[in-house]
């Protein structure tokens, strides 16, 4: 959520995956699979999941609650939190988080199919799958957030934003996906 204080959500997604991809794609080979699988994986688990998730948090989904929405057993807890918990939950934020969870699930199904069909290393899949969402994120940011907001965000980039992008790129993606 801190990264969203100075960076709009779709631009944050683009910057996250620029950090994931470079210089990694110079160091690891492209996975040995058809591009359609790489596009499906990167489109679902990278673009879809984080476009919806970052927008959800920007438009009213509390960060702590966003991580709980994907867990099916938390349904009753979600209701209680939504009605008695943090007061800044919005319907738009909640729906966008559900879409992010659906993309995460779809990405995991695609990942499983890739694992069954192709021999590939996780670093290759992370690096090259992370290449997929960069241009769509920048295009969506341009379309929905606007060139003025992008320029202002980049010209006023603070240390907090840099640390958030580095955390999302290196820790959350490389370490998190690697452990997952």
The residue length of the chain stands at 180
Read off the pTM.
0.84
The whole-angstrom separation of Cα 79 and Cα 89 is: 11
- Structural contact between residues 103 and 44, judged by C-beta atoms closer than 8 angstroms: yes
Per-residue buried b or exposed e for 43-65, using 16+ beta carbons within 10 Å of the residue's own CB: bbbbbbbbbbbbbbbbbbbbeeb
pLDDT in 10s for each residue of the chain, 180 residues = 677 888 999 999 999 999 999 999 999 999 999 999 999 999 999 999 999 999 989 988 887 777 666 654 345 555 655 666 556 778 898 888 888 888 988 998 999 999 999 999 999 999 999 999 999 999 999 999 999 999 999 999 899 999 999 999 999 999 987 776
Three-state helix/strand/coil letters over 46-90: HHHHHHHHHHHHHCCCCHHHHHHHCCHHHHHHHHHHHHHCCCCCC
The whole-angstrom separation of Cα 139 and Cα 109 is: 26
């Amino acid at each position: 959520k801190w990264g969203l204080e100075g960076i709009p959500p779709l631009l944050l997604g683009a910057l996250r995956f620029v950090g994931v991809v470079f210089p990694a794609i110079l160091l690891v080979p492209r996975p040995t699979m058809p591009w359609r699988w790489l596009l499906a994986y990167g489109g679902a688990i990278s673009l879809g999941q984080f476009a919806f998730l970052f927008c959800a948090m920007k438009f009213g989904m509390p960060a702590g609650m966003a991580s709980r929405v994907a867990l099916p057993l938390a349904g009753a807890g979600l209701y209680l939190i939504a009605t008695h918990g943090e007061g800044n939950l919005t319907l738009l934020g909640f729906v966008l988080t559900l879409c992010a969870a659906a993309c995460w699930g779809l990405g995991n199904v695609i990942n499983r199919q890739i694992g069954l069909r192709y021999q590939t290393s996780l670093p290759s899949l992370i690096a090259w799958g992370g290449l997929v969402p960069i241009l769509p994120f920048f295009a969506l940011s341009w379309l929905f957030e606007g060139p003025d907001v992008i320029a202002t965000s980049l010209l006023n980039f603070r240390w907090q934003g840099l640390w958030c992008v580095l955390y999302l790129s290196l820790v959350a993606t490389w370490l998190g996906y690697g452990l997952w």
